[in-house]
Structure 1
Amino acid sequence: MPGDMGDTIPGGIVAAAKNRLQVVKGLEDVEVSECESCSFEVTLNLAFIEGVWSRDDMQLKSKPNWRISTHGKKHSLVLSRVALGDAGFFSFEANGIQTAGRLSVTARDIHIVKELEDVDTMERQPVNFLCEVNQEDLDGRWYRDDCRIRPGDNVKTNHHGKTHTLFFKSVRPEHAGEIKFTAERVSSYATLTVKELPVVIVRPLRVKIAMYRHRGLLECQVSRPNAQVRWYKNRKELVPSRKYQLISQDVYRQLTIDDVCSSDEDTYTCDAGDDNTSCQLLVEEQAISIVRGMSSVEVMEPEPALFQVETSLKSGRPPRWTLNGEVLEACSAVNIDRQGTVHSLCLTSTQSSMSGPVLFVAGKSRSTAQLNVKERPLEVAHPLEDVEVKEKSSVTLSCAFAPSPRVVRWFKGRTALKTSNKYSMKREGKRAHLTIHGLTGIDAGQYRCMAGGSQSTAHLKVEVRTLKLVKHLEPVEIEEEGNATFSCELNYVVANVEWLLNNVRLYCNAINRIQHMGTMHSLTIKKLRPQESRVTFKTGLLSETTTLNVKERPAVFLRSLEDVVGEEQGEVCLQCEISKDTVTPVWRKDGTVLTADDKHELLQFGKSMAMIIHFLSKEDAGHYTCDLGTSQTKAKVTVHGETFLDHNGQEMVTDSRLQVINNGRNYKMTIRDAMLTDAGDVVFTIKDLSCRTMLFVKEKPVHIFRDLLNVKAVPGEDAELSCEITKPEATIVG
């Protein structure tokens, strides 16, 4: 029938039918989530055909997120980051043919994975807010009290993957409030609390001099304009009045005192709670002049010194006397007096250290004089004494002067001594002490103590002891793994000693134990290996050396060889265990040395020794010896007659698939990769004994482990279908 029809249809009609445009694969409905990508594809039977894409009857053109492309017979429309508004009816039309499909867009799930956390911090501290959402491509916005936060020098925002952060470099109280993060339909909230820093006095009060009956002004500067302060005079709080005016202007705090009088001279304090500042207010009275100034005084200690000054007016406040810059107060050693306009200062007991300028101050007037106190000549009240002491001890040299000297210097010969670990210097009133530590022979000599023009000398003798060995080291000879102890005794106690092994210093550890009790010193070395070494004891210039000889311990058998029995063509194993893993034994058979070959396999695992004899024959029977040089062990090997294995009437021969193993009286046959042809009778025969069994081999079922795959083909082309099975020779049914 088909052949008849082909004969009746003209050739031109057939060619036109083949060139007619057809849709091989049309558009299909697509469902995608928001922000994902999708594509529509159309396959025609002809290549290089121009077509038009439309959505809801509106023609589409390529743009950044809608890409239209043609590759031969395939026409594609790819949509990137699909939005909810992209859903609709998509169609493709070319030369009168048309195909269509619907795009459905589902809204994606957006939620907060990690909420914002409240922050409570101090002013000027950095603050970081972090919020995590479940989508990576979301744009977020930050708000403070519903006002959008814009990035700047102090505020930074960052978006990395699913994490959004807001960072304040330095927060201020005005930054406090509700922080909100918004990403499309979700939001997260947190509260930012900023505590103000403690109030600090930026510029403190300063000493102020106010004129009598005028106005006085005290001013300081605080760190915050809203800081509250309190003013105190001495410890009494001041309140606003006609006398006192308390003024706060921005960061400045002022106290104004009207009609200043002598009673206003005091200490004033501005207290800001966290910080405070104080100053003196001085009241300057009428101008006072010096009528008769002071004269310089020179006395010999401890004579009294008297200074007098006469002023033009009688001052309402007491004047100020200073000596060497220090203000003088009336006491038993200082008498301060005033008779009308004459002022007197008497120093009842002078010392040479008091020499210096004396100053009288009354208002703005002052008078100066010089006090010169001469020292009394120093005398040695108690001289140094000669001393003789032993080495390694300490000694103290003492002398006394009258009167008590200001400076004392110590000398050894002509060398000045200074305080150090070697020398300690101490003063107790008129006495001076020098202590010399750790005496040696070089410390002997003449020592001098000087103060002013007086001095005292003494000689120090140091008895130096000669270090000797009372008990000498002795040579030690032991076996390996043993402990060696060396000991010696000195003629007196010495703490710093050294022990050396072959000129290498030893220290206390798990192997070496170093001890000393009084003059006895000992060294113990544990778990020694064979060696010949030199052990040295050393302290200072004294040293002594002896020898250490560690002999090797002979190896012995921990487990001897045992007699074994084997069968012809089988194998036997001779095993033993020795005490040392560093010994290589010699194996013999009836006195003949054996070496490793195909028949004899020699093994050694640490202290375990073994020899395996393969393919046994009657000639292998006999006595075998394992010789260590210092001891040996023997065993007898017996070989029985040949064994036979019969399979379906044929003798079985050992090969790569068949293996027969004999271990003493046990025989084992192993068949690898069993086949159906291996099924049948199995007979074991040894001498006149035999036993029989049956081997069954089940056929493994055939499985398909790689299925057929769908194949699309154009009419007129070949199509190939393939699969894989587990058994090559299995029969395939189509």
Structure 2
Amino acid sequence: MYPGMLLPLVCVVLCCVMPSQQQTKGFQLDPADYSSTTGGFAFFQLIVADGVTGDGTWYRNNVALSQDSIKIVITTSGEVRQIVIQSIVAADAGTYTFRVNNFEVSAVLTVDGNTGVTPAIQTGLQSFNVAPGTTVTFETTLSQANVNSGTWRRNGTVLTSSDKYQITVVGQTQSLVITNVQSSDAGQYTYQVGSLTTTGTLTVQTALSILNGLQSFNVAPGTTVTFETSLSQANVNSGTWRRNGAVLTSSAKYQITVVGQTQRLVITNVQSSDVGQYTYQVGSLTTTGTLTVQTGKNRSMSYFISYDKQHLPICQTH
């Protein structure tokens, strides 16, 4: 059945050759990639250049192929070389190469979305350090799209899609989504395709706690005061600062920053109007410090003695 396809295909190929089509040295026309499904068929056809002689040899993934009336039909007609693969199975996917007179050209057969060629990993997995309850997405990018032959593992154990794990393939991106992360989900996550692997680590933070509470201050007017508290987790941005119950936000007066595990409130040019209780709250946790500002009566003074014209001592203060 399939050898009879050769002559009409020759006409189609010759009539469709355009200057923009790819031409590998030694060939007038390269074979095109082909997609098929299990049970179907595929063919590759090319035209050798003038002066190139010999039937040549076809290869799949560098393994030479031979004529098989049931599975493989190889034909030569003038400058045209053709191979037909019948009763396609997944193992037929791969790179098909034709070699003749030290020239070669290749095309890829995709079966049910599988090219049969191990793709390269272009972007590896990242690692995460997250709080409990977080949703984490591990992603890796391959050099080929729609690869469905990869495997996800946690600490060596194969993972499958479930309420906990969502495994998807979108184009070249392989994704593993882990919902409601808990300490039991910590470990090494690996994606493998063929002999290639990429690994990322998931670290789950312990329950949030306040390690060091706020201190209290008694300062002179004009001072800059810094309230600091340390948490058990880094880069927590969900906390709130308050003065006497009123929420504070960053401004010329207040500078609110998060540096690692440290939560910081800086109050510039402190005046008597800034006195009160300062509280940091995150979740149900709070820590409080008090700010008092000294007045003229309770500020420390320095003394020195001078003498009047009668040489009597005079006590002065500053």
Answer yes or no: same fold by TM over 0.5: no
Q: Which has the larger radius of gyration?
A: 1
Q: TM-score, normalised by structure 1?
A: 0.20
- In terms of fraction of residues, the more strand-rich structure is 1
Q: TM-score, normalised by structure 2?
A: 0.40
